[in-house]
Amino acid sequence: MSVMEFLAMGGHGPYIWGSYGVMALLMVIEARQVIARKRKALSLQHAAGHGGRS
């Protein structure tokens, strides 16, 4: 099967890739957002530890 045939998925390509694409995008966005939030919380904590009580 050629790459073009694989992408076309017998005419169902837009539905299939629209599904997988959106789901992958959502999961990547969520994962990045959550990891960024954790890093920020850690750095805020580090700053508080230095400036505030030990």
Partner 1 sequence: MSEKRIQWFKFSSPGNFFALVEKLLPWLWTTALITTALGLYIGFFVAPVDYQQGNSYRIMFIHVPAAWMSMFIYLVMAVYAFITLVWRIKMADVLAASLAPTGALFTFAALWTGALWGRPTWGAYWVWDARLTSELLLLFLYLGYMALHAAIPDRQRASRAASLLALVGVVNLPIIYFSVKWWNTLHQGASVSVSKGASMDSSMLAAMLLLSLACWMYAIAVSLTRAQAETLDRERGATWASSLAAAQAAELDEDLETTSEGVPVQHTW
Which residue in 2, 3, 4, 20 binds partner 1 (CB under 8 A)? 20
Enter the DSSP assignment of 11. Answer: G
Q: Does 5 engage in binding with partner 1 (CB under 8 A)?
A: no
Eight-state DSSP code of residue 1: -
Residue 38 lies near partner 1 (rule: CB under 8 A): yes
Q: What is the DSSP letter of 52?
A: S
Q: Residue type for 51, please?
A: G
**AA identity, residue 32:** R
Q: List contacts with partner 1 (CB under 8 A).
A: 6, 9-12, 15-16, 18-20, 22-23, 26-27, 30-31, 34-35, 37-46, 48-49, 52-54
